[in-house]
């Protein structure tokens, strides 16, 4: 979507210049959403896909360049086998079904996390979707799958240590830029705003490095119920924040 169009779509109480460039979201509360309706937890996950599709479209409409969604954490393997299997199959099916629409909308999809231990068929679908959308010019959509912030930092440390061991890098030269280049999120700007649904006030191992100065917004709404109005509220709240980055304002 081009800038002129997105300005038309943007609610009039949002300031275009103050929009976040990168929004991240912890899509939490699918299980509770289902439980409230006496449905199996997995129905909540299914519903959650629609909420994510709507948010992606909304970000695109409102001129937000990057959306990162937490789909599966390194700790989520500890859930019942049936739920984990359901999620892996769900991801695969959604990717296959949505690829054509992502191409029409110019979405560039990328997966962040350790993908090597995902089911082989899901890995293939992921590689295909990333390759196919690689040259798209629209919104960048990152899906954190088997993602853990601590594991990501360890993974970066190992890479960097190997480079030092091989004499390709000097210890004194290691800096924030080099470190970021070894994270799964290499090349992706840090999130300006992180939204977590379902009321939990924690990061749950999401984007530990990247969120050093990101703003957080927590809503008690459960993820499948998260919609444009809710997102609008989050953005209004974000636009009121004074992002000081540790400094003081000169009067």
Footprint on this chain of Mg ion (rule: CB under 5 A): 28
| Residue of 62, 70, 141, 184 that binds ligand IPE (CB under 6 A) | 70
CB of 117: closest distance to Mg ion in angstroms? 21
Choose one: 59-67, 121-129, 179-187, 200-208; the region binding ligand IPE (CB under 6 A): 200-208
Q: Which region, judged by CB under 6 A, interacts with ligand IPE, from 30-38, 129-137, 173-181, 240-248?
A: 30-38
Which of 157, 156, 143, 163 minimizes the C-alpha distance to 26?
143
- Residue 202 is a binding residue for ligand IPE (CB under 6 A): yes
**Closest distance between Mg ion and the C-beta of residue 44, in Å?**
10
Is 203 annotated in a binding site? The answer is: yes
Yes or no: say if 182 and 160 are a contact pair by the CB < 8 Å rule: yes
76 among known catalytic residues: yes
Catalytic residue among 13, 54, 60, 76: 76
29 binds ligand IPE (CB under 6 A): yes
32 binds ligand IPE (CB under 6 A): yes
- Residues marked active site are found at 28, 76
Residues found near ligand IPE in the complex (CB under 6 A): 26-32, 70-73, 76, 87, 198, 200, 202, 204
């Amino acid at each position: 979507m081009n800038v002129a169009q997105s300005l038309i779509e943007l609610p009039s109480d949002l300031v275009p210049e103050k929009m976040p460039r990168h929004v991240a979201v912890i899509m939490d509360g699918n299980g509770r959403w289902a439980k409230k309706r006496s449905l199996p937890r997995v129905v909540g996950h299914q519903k959650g896909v629609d909420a994510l599709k709507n948010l992606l479209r909304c970000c695109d409409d409102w001129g937000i360049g990057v959306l990162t969604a937490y789909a599966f954490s390194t700790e989520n393997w500890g859930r019942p086998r049936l739920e984990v299997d359901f999620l892996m199959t769900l991801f695969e099916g959604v990717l296959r079904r949505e690829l054509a629409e992502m191409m029409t909308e110019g979405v560039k999809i990328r997966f962040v996390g350790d993908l090597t231990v995902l089911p082989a068929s899901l890995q293939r679908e992921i590689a295909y979707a990333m390759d196919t959308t690689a040259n798209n010019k629209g919104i960048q959509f990152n899906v954190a799958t088997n993602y853990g912030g601590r594991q990501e930092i360890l993974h970066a440390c190992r890479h960097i240590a190997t480079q030092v061991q091989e004499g390709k890098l000097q210890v004194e030269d290691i800096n924030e830029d080099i470190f970021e280049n070894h994270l799964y999120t290499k090349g992706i700007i840090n999130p300006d705003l992180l939204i977590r649904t379902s009321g939990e006030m924690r990061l749950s191992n999401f984007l530990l490095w990247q969120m050093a100065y990101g703003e957080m917004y927590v809503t008690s709404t459960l993820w499948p119920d998260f919609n444009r109005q809710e997102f609008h509220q989050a953005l209004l709240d974000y636009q009121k924040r004074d992002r000081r980055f540790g400094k003081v304002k000169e009067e």
